[in-house]
Amino acid sequence: MSAVPSLPQSNPLSRLQLHKFGGTSLADAGRIAAAARLAAPLAGGASVVVVSAMRGVTDALVALAAVARGGGDWTPGWRALQARHHEAAHAIAGTDTGTLIARLDAEAAALHADLGALAFATEDAALRLSERIWGHGELCSAWLMHAALGGEPAGWARLDARDVLVVHGSEIGMHVDREASLKCLAGWRARHPQAHVVATGFVARTPDGHATTLGRNGSDHSATLLADLFDADAVTIWTDVDGVLSADPRLVPDAVCLSALSYAEACELAYFGAKVLHPRTIAPLQARGIPLSIRNALAPSTRGTRIDAQGETARSPVKGLSIVDDMAVLELTGSGMAGVPGVAETLFAALHAAGVSVTMISQGSSEHSICCVVRAPEAARGRAAIEDAFADAIAGGQVEGVRLETGLCVLAAVGDGMVGSQGVAARLFDGLAQARVNIRAIAQGASERNISVAIAQDDATRALRAAHAAFWLSPQTVSVGVIGPGNVGRALLAQLSEVIPALRARAGVDLRLRAIASSRRMHLGDAALDPDTAGALLGDHADACDLDAFAAHVRADHLPHAMIVDCSASDAVAAKYEDWLAAGIHVVTPNKHAGSGDWTRYARIVEARVTGHSRFMYEATVGAGLPVIVTLRNLLDTGDTLQAIDGMLSGTLAWLFNSFDGSRPFSDLVREARALGYTEPDPRDDLSGLDVARKLVILAREAGRPLSLADVAVESLVPEALRELPLDEFLQRLSELDTPMQARLDAARAQGRGLRHIARLEAGGDASVGVRALPADHACMHTRLTDNLVQFTTARYAENPLVVQGPGAGPQVTAAGVFGDVLAIAHALGARTGWRHA
């Protein structure tokens, strides 16, 4: 490196800093000036500044070249580019605008000549001209940056990298001729001894002296190649995000900035699509141990990401995730392949010869199939090449053929911490399964630093977010829809509103209310709705309710988990559960229709839950917020045997019989209960016992009995004659209930008993609902107000049954029961992914 000038040694730590600015940091004159301030050399140090074209300029040049090659009119586009550079020059150059404009115009004139020649050039010549045209943006931005830094008077030289960077295409991409480049640089340095240099990114020259480029987004690579040639001590790539993030922030808004990465981690992330770094960026630095920082030019006070040999140990074994889009799977199958040596060799040789590069390989241990993932545009070519190579084997039947599947992408999880750490793949697969993502192929590099899976392109965002959350990198996001903003729904929304922030912070679960519906209206929101005000969105202006559209919106493709909370009492809504659960939407409800309705529909719902990996939770259908179903489930899951369930399952009927002591007629109490809002508007809905029977059916099914409503012997407290009357008339004739009820009370008392409304399920499966005379020591005789009580008699709790008792009605406690289920699902998602409570 004799050509590198001997630099002042006063600050050895900052001997030569190389800064690279991407197009995003050079959008206009203001941004270029800000970049120049960031690149100002440290005291006693020297700077090399590598620039990309101004934002959008390369795209414009590529388009312009295509127009010119096709014989179209490229002059308006050429003028627009010149005007854009002029505009920036006027804002930047200050006193020496003339020189800068002249320099830019010389570049523009060369571009003009190249574009003019393109239409008439041979194929080879056209390619060479195009390479020159594509690099024009960097030539101009380097002049602009040079001026912004003060130009020659401030000690800055401007380097056209085509004068020094000698590269040639090779089997594995662009290869730099380091010796030739160093020699060219030495010659250039002899003519440009300034301490500081502004260099063009992206462009280079071939060994025979033609202009070329390093490929789209290649300026990162230019920067590190030049860092090596200039013997830089450190490189900073300035961009428009805070550093390398744990995933593409446009797909995962919760992505976090990684403070440090090893070279190997950075390579893997870049190779698998992290656009912030060009895949070839790292190699020139790794060879020399030069550290690289990725920093935000818009927020220079943030520290960014440091990339060096050590990296940093992180909490999660996976540091980051990335996606390569537009991929395809090629699968060679055949029973005659097992144990035959050389199959893989033939396959990959065929792909190699066809110029198809392979991103991922996976082979079943049975050797029955080999599958590889390639770029979609190369896939058909790849298939033809493999079919050709195996033509004899296909004709002979040893190989079935080559299957091609497109519409895929590859998701890669990357981290040094994965090496030797168990359960990483399991966590990834589990996270993806939870988010309903089907995996087409899997590969793990022998380095164990990367696990890649091929998945459907349509699942990309959802998969990325689910995997991101699965590795503790962000909270689990659940897309939530609430149906039925009546009393229970409203109470639930209020409860949600209070807890959502804490849940996100402490449990790592982000419940995002995105849809709300009543029986007639619905509102679907892209951003999270505020639970406190969501109900107000259901005014007349809201859309008509369409449950399928509602569910499709909740099950957003980009969010990993979906949940519908049905607070309606509608059978039409319950009829949708099967579809929703099968589609992977968790369902939580206090609606009894699904659990107690038609048995075959119920069985299908249970089955759909399994297919969809979803959960169906309905604790609030029985006993509102009381832990009734969970208790029963725990008893059975721990191996206990159920002998009987006795319960007071209606808060209304409990209140009536708790209050009915003969001092007031029964009808008086019914009227009072109605006035207090304890009964349904038509008290017969409670007195018929049907609602209680539904709850008993739900409990029986939970206990594994295939019971239906018709199997329950239900005693209605409404005399036959009053059942079909209009409500008014029924209420007028309510006193007809009194004499028979008083007689039952007297008879019970004569035996030292009292009356309660009881639901009972016997061991043999008999189920009944009605008024029973119970001894004074029965648990149901010791209830208050609207208490519900459920008594489980089991093998373990035989002598002294297990009792669950407490308020079993009212919007607040019912909503709390629903909320408990919502939380159970949310916590399971958090726990499944290993999230720790803070």
Q: Residue 37 binds what, of ligand ADP, ligand PHD, none (CB under 5 to 8 Å, by partner type)?
A: none
CA-based end-to-end distance of the chain: 53
Q: Where do we find the tokens 């990367």?
A: 450
Instruction: For Cα atoms 235, 240, 241, give the angle at the middle one, nearest 5 degrees.
Output: 85
| 53 forms part of the interface with ligand PHD (CB under 6 A) | yes
- 163, 228, 233, 248: which one contacts ligand ADP (CB under 6 A)? 248
* Integer Cα distance of 276 and 261 in angstroms: 14
Give the number of other Cβ atoms within 10 Å of residue 658's Cβ. 20
Q: Residue 218 binds what, of ligand PHD, ligand ADP, none (CB under 5 to 8 Å, by partner type)?
A: ligand PHD
For 377, how many CA atoms within 13 A lie in the half-sphere containing its CB? 2
Report which residue's Cβ sits closest to ligand PHD: 23
| 212 forms part of the interface with ligand PHD (CB under 6 A) | no
Q: Residue 90 binds what, of ligand ADP, ligand PHD, none (CB under 5 to 8 Å, by partner type)?
A: none
Point out which span in 235-243, 306-314, 454-462, 761-769 binds ligand ADP (CB under 6 A).
Answer: 235-243
Residues numbered 12-41 forming contacts with ligand PHD, rule: CB under 6 A: 22-23
Q: Which is nearer to ligand ADP, 226 or 588 (CB)?
A: 226
- The crossing angle, in degrees rounded to 10, of helices 57-69 and 97-118 is 40
Q: Residue 45 binds what, of ligand PHD, ligand ADP, none (CB under 5 to 8 Å, by partner type)?
A: none
- 44, 150, 155, 249: which one contacts ligand ADP (CB under 6 A)? 249
| List of long-range contacts for 528-533, beta carbons under 8 Å, 24+ apart | 530/497, 531/493, 531/494, 531/496, 531/497, 531/500, 532/493, 532/494, 532/497
Q: How far is the CB of 439 from ligand PHD (least distance, A)?
A: 31
| 129 forms part of the interface with ligand ADP (CB under 6 A) | no
The answer to whether residues 135 and 211 touch, using CB atoms and an 8 Å cutoff, is yes
In total, the chain counts a number of residues equal to 838
Residues numbered 464-503 forming contacts with ligand PHD, rule: CB under 6 A: none
Phi, psi of 58 (to 5 degrees): -65, -40
Residue 716 gets which letter from DSSP?
-
| Contact flags string 267-286 toward ligand ADP, x per CB under 6 A | -------xxx----------
Q: Residue 202 binds what, of ligand PHD, ligand ADP, none (CB under 5 to 8 Å, by partner type)?
A: ligand PHD
* Integer Cα distance of 766 and 693 in angstroms: 12
Q: How far is the CB of 195 from ligand ADP (least distance, A)?
A: 26
- How far, in Å, are 22, 70, 105, 131, 471 from residue 137 at the CA level? 12, 21, 13, 12, 41
295 burial type by CB count under 10 A (0-12 exposed, 13-18 middle, 19+ buried): buried
Q: How far is the CB of 46 from ligand PHD (least distance, A)?
A: 23
- 245, 379, 697, 815: which one contacts ligand ADP (CB under 6 A)? 245
Q: Residue 216 binds what, of ligand PHD, ligand ADP, none (CB under 5 to 8 Å, by partner type)?
A: ligand PHD
The answer to whether residues 532 and 493 touch, using CB atoms and an 8 Å cutoff, is yes
| 243 forms part of the interface with ligand PHD (CB under 6 A) | no
Q: Rg for the chain (alpha carbons), in Å?
A: 37
Q: How far is the CB of 10 from ligand PHD (least distance, A)?
A: 32
Q: Are strands 156-159 and 196-200 parallel, antiparallel or unpaired?
A: parallel
Point out which span in 99-107, 214-222, 258-266, 514-522 binds ligand PHD (CB under 6 A).
Answer: 214-222
Q: Which is nearer to ligand ADP, 304 or 531 (CB)?
A: 304
The answer to whether residues 635 and 708 touch, using CB atoms and an 8 Å cutoff, is no
Q: How far is the CB of 452 from ligand PHD (least distance, A)?
A: 24
Point out which span in 31-39, 210-218, 490-498, 693-701 binds ligand PHD (CB under 6 A).
Answer: 210-218
- 47, 52, 369, 477: which one contacts ligand PHD (CB under 6 A)? 52
803 burial type by CB count under 10 A (0-12 exposed, 13-18 middle, 19+ buried): middle
With CB under 6 A, what is the number of residues at the site for ligand ADP?
19
Point out which span in 65-73, 215-223, 710-718, 737-745 binds ligand PHD (CB under 6 A).
Answer: 215-223
Q: Which is nearer to ligand PHD, 216 or 784 (CB)?
A: 216
Q: How far is the CB of 240 from ligand ADP (least distance, A)?
A: 5
* Integer Cα distance of 392 and 396 in angstroms: 6
Q: Which is nearer to ligand PHD, 163 or 220 (CB)?
A: 220
Q: Which is nearer to ligand PHD, 39 or 669 (CB)?
A: 39
Annotated catalytic residue 275? no
Q: How far is the CB of 173 from ligand ADP (least distance, A)?
A: 18
- How far, in Å, are 163, 223, 568, 648, 815 from residue 589 at the CA level? 71, 58, 8, 21, 10
- 156, 202, 577, 730: which one contacts ligand PHD (CB under 6 A)? 202
Type of residue numbered 284: P
- The crossing angle, in degrees rounded to 10, of helices 666-675 and 651-659 is 140
Q: Residue 36 binds what, of ligand ADP, ligand PHD, none (CB under 5 to 8 Å, by partner type)?
A: none
Phi, psi of 54 (to 5 degrees): -60, 155
| 821 forms part of the interface with ligand ADP (CB under 6 A) | no
Residues numbered 11-30 forming contacts with ligand ADP, rule: CB under 6 A: 22-25
Residues numbered 136-175 forming contacts with ligand PHD, rule: CB under 6 A: 137
| List of long-range contacts for 825-828, beta carbons under 8 Å, 24+ apart | 825/478, 825/563, 825/586, 825/588, 825/615, 825/617, 826/476, 826/478, 826/503, 826/507, 826/509, 826/511, 827/507, 827/509, 828/615
Catalytic residue among 319, 576, 592, 695, which? 695
Token pair in block for residue 26: 């050079």
With CB under 6 A, what is the number of residues at the site for ligand PHD?
12
Residue 166's DSSP bridge partners are 205
- 41, 77, 151, 218: which one contacts ligand PHD (CB under 6 A)? 218
| Residues 6 or more apart whose Cβ sits within 8 Å of residue 184 | 163, 164, 165, 166
* Integer Cα distance of 461 and 453 in angstroms: 14
Residue 239's DSSP bridge partners are 296
Q: How far is the CB of 160 from ligand ADP (least distance, A)?
A: 20
Q: Which is nearer to ligand ADP, 249 or 445 (CB)?
A: 249
Type of residue numbered 256: V
| 261 forms part of the interface with ligand ADP (CB under 6 A) | no
Type of residue numbered 229: L
Q: How far is the CB of 822 from ligand ADP (least distance, A)?
A: 32
| 519 forms part of the interface with ligand ADP (CB under 6 A) | no
Q: Which is nearer to ligand ADP, 241 or 328 (CB)?
A: 241
Q: Residue 58 binds what, of ligand ADP, ligand PHD, none (CB under 5 to 8 Å, by partner type)?
A: ligand PHD
Q: Residue 276 binds what, of ligand ADP, ligand PHD, none (CB under 5 to 8 Å, by partner type)?
A: ligand ADP
The answer to whether residues 591 and 521 touch, using CB atoms and an 8 Å cutoff, is no
| 96 forms part of the interface with ligand ADP (CB under 6 A) | no
- 219, 305, 679, 783: which one contacts ligand PHD (CB under 6 A)? 219
| 389 forms part of the interface with ligand ADP (CB under 6 A) | no
* Integer Cα distance of 1 and 229 in angstroms: 8
Residues numbered 307-366 forming contacts with ligand ADP, rule: CB under 6 A: 320
* Integer Cα distance of 641 and 301 in angstroms: 65
Residues that bind ligand PHD (CB under 6 A): 22-23, 52-53, 58, 137, 201-202, 216-219
Residues that bind ligand ADP (CB under 6 A): 22-25, 52, 217, 239-241, 244-245, 247-250, 274-276, 320
Catalogue the active-site residues. 695
